[in-house]
Amino acid sequence: MNKKFISKIICLVAILMITLSGTAYANNGENVHPSSQTSKMVSTKSVSLNNIGINPMSLSRPTSGTYLPYNGSFSAVDTEIYSNYYFFTNGATKFYVDSTVTADTPPGMNYHINVYQAGTNKFVLSSSEFNTDSNTGMWTTTFSNLDPAYNYYISFQNDGLGGTLLPISGSFKVRLN
């Protein structure tokens, strides 16, 4: 065997090892179980919801994408409402949704945020359920461990309260960091 042939074999083995280690990393649970965590925003200095467009939400699922950040708002929702666009996540495995949601009339309503894969429309996960009376102000929900091969979109789901569905309204920002 000559040196050139041995060098090629060593190079191929190295490429194979790198490829397999990447596969093992992807299968070790890092991106298999998406999760969400929500916390109240203490400061809104870095995240402003000013200049939000009028109702960039839809009752139908999005068919085109946009870059983040994405500002949105919705009003008088008594079911589920989707973002008008899916989000180009550029291989990111997490994104953030800063939101404030209120009930249009008392009493407070329950709601949660859903995440779906763009293209497949496959449900990925939901945030915890929140009540508009006890979860006032701005909240940040972090959706983590997402598959970097996909883009995603969100919806706000009105869960009602005690069998009653009164409308909710809100504003939000979806961002990568």
With beta carbons less than 8 A apart as the criterion, state whether 162 and 108 touch: no
pLDDT at position 3 is 74
- If you classify domain 34-175 with CATH, what class do you get? mainly beta
Structure tokens at 1: 């065997």
pTM above 0.85, yes or no: no
* Sign, CA torsion 120/66/151/20: positive
Distance of CA 40 to the CA centre of its chain: 17
Percent residues over pLDDT 70 in the chain: 71
Lowest mean pLDDT among 40-54, 97-111, 146-160: 40-54
Q: From CA 65, how far away is CA 63, in angstroms rounded?
A: 7
> Could you give the CA distance from residue 102 to residue 110 in angstroms, rounded to a whole number?
10
Q: Quote the pLDDT of residue 58.
A: 81
Q: What is residue 13's predicted lDDT score, i.e. its pLDDT?
A: 54
The answer to whether the bond into 69 is cis (omega within 30° of 0) is yes
Average pLDDT (154-170) is 93
pLDDT digits (tens, 9 = 90+) for 28-55: 444 358 765 655 555 544 444 443 444 5
Q: Where are the domains of the chain?
A: 1-30, 34-175
The pLDDT of 76-90, averaged and rounded, is 93
